[in-house]
Structure 1
Amino acid sequence: MRTLLNELRAVWHAKVLVWVLTRREVAARHSGTALGVLWPYLQPLLTVAAYYLVFDVVFSMRLGDGAPTHAVGAFLIVGALPWMAFCDAVSRGMNSLIDAGGLLQKNPLPPVLFTTRAVLASSLIYGPLLVLVGLAYAPMHRFQWPVLAFPVLLGLQLLLCLLLGFALAILAAALRDTVQLVGFLLSVGIYLSPILFPLTLFPEAWRWVLWLNPMTALVQGYQEILLRGTWPPLSVWWVTLAWIAATATLLALLVRRSQDQLVDWL
């Protein structure tokens, strides 16, 4: 814990610099585009709009009993958008130290600042979109009390992305194959989570495989809140916290082991 607290202090003491770096990161995403700042938001919005148009309007597909909702498009949106946010944050966090290698070799800045910048920049793009989805679904249940758990889950997802992004960034600096391996896992991870199908449709004997995906619990929590209007079950909370604790433990070990060599790896 002391190692992670030192990293947290470094981020806090350089919070102004982190904010400046984050704004530049966001600006770089739409630099040179005709739509400007709207472009990073438009891409995921068009994706979820396509889900709704194709599955709910055109084909009017419906899920069976046991699903949080019968509308396929509405079901996909609640799971797919958080998944896209997770993949973007983790991927950019993983590549953050490699991208900042030249700067880190010339300036004695804490490496954690650059991973934090990458993950926060991603959250500034997807965070408002996730809040927008929450506001669109919450009236279906008359803004009942379970909606208060929605921002808590968003905060836990951000924390998980920060920890996992930094741990993967250190591993990627030491072994470049990490980038290809994690990229593959992110591409197939959507099929190993209750995003394209309800959890109840997955064979019960193999359902434990889904819990190896860190987003399974969070997606299930979003579905319970936005589609059912109920509090997420206890399994959502303890599995999510277990993933955060395990990732924090791994990160602390990686930070300690790489302190004297990280910049050389870059």
Structure 2
Amino acid sequence: MIEDIMELFKYKEMLKNLVRKDLRTRYKGSFLGFLWTFINPLLMLLVYSIVFPYLLRIQEKNYAMFLFVALIPWMFFSTSLQNGVNSIVWNNGLIKKIYFPRLILPIATATSGLMNCIYSMIVVIISLMIMDVSIKWYVIFLPLLLFIQYLLVLGFCIIFSCINVYFRDLEHILGIVLQAWYFLTPVLYRVDVLPKNLQFALKLNPMSALIISYRDVLYDGKFPNVMSLVYVFIFSIFLLIFSILIFNKLKIRFAEEI
């Protein structure tokens, strides 16, 4: 494990270049280019501001922002996993041509997703101020939430990327799983609207704890649940260690399988 980290450090420039490449090519060929990183969340906010309060008659005060602060981290999670599962397969030419630590590929995907989420969070904070949602000092916990979510996303990206080399159906299965996962995560609703037994089960989902914490510090202006964050952090660390161990066992035949 320590050897992997030391080797990754030697290839840090390659990691930086892969992240830059992903961010630049995300909207390659479009007229507005990288500005879409900011325009996309703004357009989403506009749609939610119209659809939910007026057409669906949601009772939550300022529901557009209630949803917005949760949707951005969910998009970071789901998009990163969907891209991460193919991070090895899509770079088969690079793998066959040169040597580099293969872990860099899923790490670059997760890091790119994090950077895009950070840019989107700037839009979220500005939107909160415009929509007259009071931003309190609890917002200082935002970097901690992003860090914990990054560890979680990274663990999933690593393990899914190596399994997908041998089992290509995984990317299609993952798409279906993420749809179900979305509704089992309190993005559209508050957990306390559910029965008590379902609330407990839902909170075992690590993304539930993160989404609730994002909403606590950004929308509700209160202290996040420390025990929930500790749970997600420990879960993410164990997932990350496990995923690296599996990755190291499977990476030996990457070039042959892809």
TM over 0.5: yes
Runs of 5+ unmatched residues, structure 1: 64-69
Runs of 5+ unmatched residues, structure 2: none
In the TM superposition, what whole-angstrom CA distance separates every residue of 1:221-246 from its partner, at most 9, and x where no partner exists?
Answer: 01111122111112321221132023
CA distance in 2, matches of 1:85, 1:142: 22
Q: Of 225, 242, 247, which residue of structure 2 is paired with 1:233?
A: 225
Contact 2:42 2:123 in 1 (8 A): no
Q: Report the equivalent of 1:143.
A: 136
Sequence identity (%): 23
Q: Of 13, 16, 27, which residue of structure 2 is paired with 1:30?
A: 27
Q: Of 140, 146, 158, which residue of structure 2 is paired with 1:154?
A: 146
> What is the CA-CA distance between 1:106 and the residue it aligns to?
1.6
Q: Report the equivalent of 2:199.
A: 207
Q: Of 85, 102, 105, which residue of structure 2 is paired with 1:111?
A: 102
In the TM superposition, what whole-angstrom CA distance separates every residue of 1:180-232 from its partner, at most 9, and x where no partner exists?
Answer: 12111112211101111100012222234423433111101011111221111
The aligned runs of 1:1-266 (5 Å cut-off) are: 3=1, 5-56=2-53, 61-63=58-60, 70-137=61-128, 140-141=133-134, 143-144=136-137, 146-266=138-258
Contact 1:41 1:126 in 2 (8 A): no
CA distance in 1, matches of 2:219, 2:28: 37
Contact 2:53 2:64 in 1 (8 A): yes
> What is the CA-CA distance between 1:75 and the residue it aligns to?
1.3
Contact 1:119 1:162 in 2 (8 A): yes
From the superposition, tell whether residues 255 and 58 of structure 1 become closer, same or farther in structure 2 (CA, over 3 Å): closer
Contact 1:41 1:125 in 2 (8 A): no
Q: Kindly provide the amino acid, as one letter, of the partner of residue 61 in structure 1.
A: I
CA distance in 1, matches of 2:32, 2:42: 14
In the TM superposition, what whole-angstrom CA distance separates every residue of 1:41-82 from its partner, at most 9, and x where no partner exists?
Answer: 42333123211232246666323xxxxxx3322211111111
> What is the CA-CA distance between 1:250 and the residue it aligns to?
2.1
TM-score when normalising by structure 1:
0.87
CA distance in 1, matches of 2:94, 2:62: 49
CA distance in 2, matches of 1:151, 1:113: 23
In the TM superposition, what whole-angstrom CA distance separates every residue of 1:71-121 from its partner, at most 9, and x where no partner exists?
Answer: 322211111111011111121112100101121012111111111222222
Greater Cα offset, 233-242 or 84-93: 233-242
CA distance in 1, matches of 2:89, 2:39: 28
Contact 2:71 2:187 in 1 (8 A): yes
CA distance in 2, matches of 1:24, 1:249: 27
From the superposition, tell whether residues 8 and 49 of structure 1 become closer, same or farther in structure 2 (CA, over 3 Å): farther
CA distance in 1, matches of 2:135, 2:186: 25
Task: Say which SS state the counterpart of residue 182 (structure 1) adopts.
Answer: helix
CA distance in 1, matches of 2:183, 2:55: 24
Contact 1:48 1:81 in 2 (8 A): no
Matched residue count? 256
From the superposition, tell whether residues 137 and 11 of structure 1 become closer, same or farther in structure 2 (CA, over 3 Å): farther
Greater Cα offset, 206-215 or 20-29: 206-215
